[in-house]
Structure 1
Amino acid sequence: MTAARPIVSVRSFADLKPVRRALAEAAAQQAERQQQAREAERRAQIERQLFAHSVGPVRPVKGQDARRWHHHEPPEPIPVQRQLDEARVLLESISDEFDVTTLLDVDDQLSYRRPGVGLDVTRKLRSGAWSIQRHLDLHGLRTDEAREALGEFIRLAHRTGLRCVRIVHGKGLGSPGRVPVLKGRVQRWLVQKKEVLAFVQARPLDGGAGALVVLLQPGRR
């Protein structure tokens, strides 16, 4: 709708000056309104094309009905925190310099029990009161490989709810000087593992001086 122009009465040439001024003001107002309308249309066009400007040109996937939606079960959540915990445990440092001698019960057969654990526990462990559920054989492994293998084995055994396991470290018969290289290290490593309650030298039928029977803290299945 066009705005009504102002009505000006003209009686002489002198009256033309205000007429021209009035006409100029009306033309300016009209031009401003047209400019505002064009600007509003431009903004509306930009808003309509905002998605296209953001993602670029899109094409429908051939052979797919755009109106059909398929429900898919959500993927299982990734146990990120558990993976981080496991990675941290695997990277933990088990020291070879740890002094284990003051923590061992040296009687007729070597044994260890965590503070607060009674002597009856090591007696029962030595007598076979707990059945050996899994074992780890460290024969042929280098020291760093054996340390990592033992740490992972103890962690997994505890996490799966095992209570009694055997660690075979060997008697050192094939080592230089026939000295058991891993025996002392395995003792030091086990004492530093919080999952370990106690361990004893294995019975002859379970490996004797070449193995340890280890009792683990109760874990959750």
Structure 2
Amino acid sequence: MKRRAPATISDDDARLFREAIGEVRRIDPVPLPPSLPKPLPHPRMFEADEAAVSGELLDMAFDPASMEVGEELSYLRDGYPPHLLRRLKRGQFSVQDELDLHHMNAAAAQASIVAFLAEARQHDLHCVRIVHGKGLRSKAAGPVLKALTDRLLRRRDDIVAFASARPAQGGTGAVIVLLRH
């Protein structure tokens, strides 16, 4: 639909309009009241989180200082170039599938890893992630599923390399695995 141009107002129409409304006096604009300064933001949630930390640290059954230090897994099969492991640690490979072992016992986790890797080879996958968890609820023996995953992957001939995942991919609670083509 086309829009019509507004009709032009003739001098007669303008004169009739002025006569009809009478004398007009201009109203001066009223200045706006001054605005009050906005209050500065107050980080209430941050303060609440910080205040809660000391209580949470007392309730923890593990030493949080030892959570990430020295727990990284890494392995490179003999005969492969070291830059392959560096690239894996930097997250330069695209993860094609994932297995999550949370809430499994050692026997179920071992069977799941074996089946998962067989299926990955069958589908010609080259990079997968296995989430074993950090073992925070493990007793004095340490993280059971993490140790099991480490031992099992080192013994397999079809594993080229593995390394603990980047923090965004699970950190020391997961490994990224490179499979042989």
The reply to whether residue 196 of structure 1 matches residue 169 of structure 2 is: no
In the TM superposition, residue 109 of structure 1 has moved relative to its aligned partner by 4.1
Q: How many residues align?
A: 112
For structure 1, the 5+ residue unaligned runs are 1-106
CA contact (8 A) 1:166 1:211 kept: yes
Partner of 1:112: 75
The reply to whether residue 207 of structure 1 matches residue 170 of structure 2 is: yes
In the TM superposition, residue 184 of structure 1 has moved relative to its aligned partner by 1.0
**Alpha-carbon distance in structure 1 between the residues aligned to 2:140 and 2:150:** 20
**Alpha-carbon distance in structure 1 between the residues aligned to 2:72 and 2:172:** 9
In the TM superposition, residue 138 of structure 1 has moved relative to its aligned partner by 0.5
In the TM superposition, residue 158 of structure 1 has moved relative to its aligned partner by 1.2
Q: Which amino acid aligns with 1:141?
A: M
**Alpha-carbon distance in structure 2 between the residues aligned to 1:109 and 1:123:** 13
Q: Which amino acid aligns with 1:191?
A: R
CA contact (8 A) 1:114 1:198 kept: yes
The reply to whether residue 143 of structure 1 matches residue 106 of structure 2 is: yes
Aligned with 1:158 (options 121, 126, 130)? 121
CA contact (8 A) 1:172 1:178 kept: no
Q: Which amino acid aligns with 2:145?
A: L
Query: Deviation digits for residues 55-111 of structure 1, max 9, x if unmatched?
Result: xxxxxxxxxxxxxxxxxxxxxxxxxxxxxxxxxxxxxxxxxxxxxxxxxxxx89431
**Alpha-carbon distance in structure 1 between the residues aligned to 2:157 and 2:120:** 13
Partner of 1:32: none
Partner of 1:41: none
Tell me the TM-score normalised to structure 1 length. Answer: 0.48
In the TM superposition, residue 169 of structure 1 has moved relative to its aligned partner by 0.6
Between Structure 1 and Structure 2, whose CA radius of gyration is higher?
1
Structure with the greater relative contact order (CA < 8 A, sep ≥ 6): 1 or 2?
A: 2
Q: Which amino acid aligns with 1:203?
A: R
CA contact (8 A) 1:126 1:203 kept: yes
The reply to whether residue 185 of structure 1 matches residue 123 of structure 2 is: no
In the TM superposition, residue 175 of structure 1 has moved relative to its aligned partner by 2.2
**Alpha-carbon distance in structure 2 between the residues aligned to 1:179 and 1:207:** 18
Query: Deviation digits for residues 105-133 of structure 1, max 9, x if unmatched?
Result: xx894310111011100011111221011
What is the identity percentage for the equivalent residue pairs of Structure 1 and Structure 2? 42
For structure 2, the 5+ residue unaligned runs are 1-69
CA contact (8 A) 2:162 2:175 kept: yes
**Comparing both structures, which one devotes a greater share of its residues to helix?**
1
**Alpha-carbon distance in structure 1 between the residues aligned to 2:97 and 2:165:** 14
Partner of 1:61: none
Q: Which amino acid aligns with 2:163?
A: V
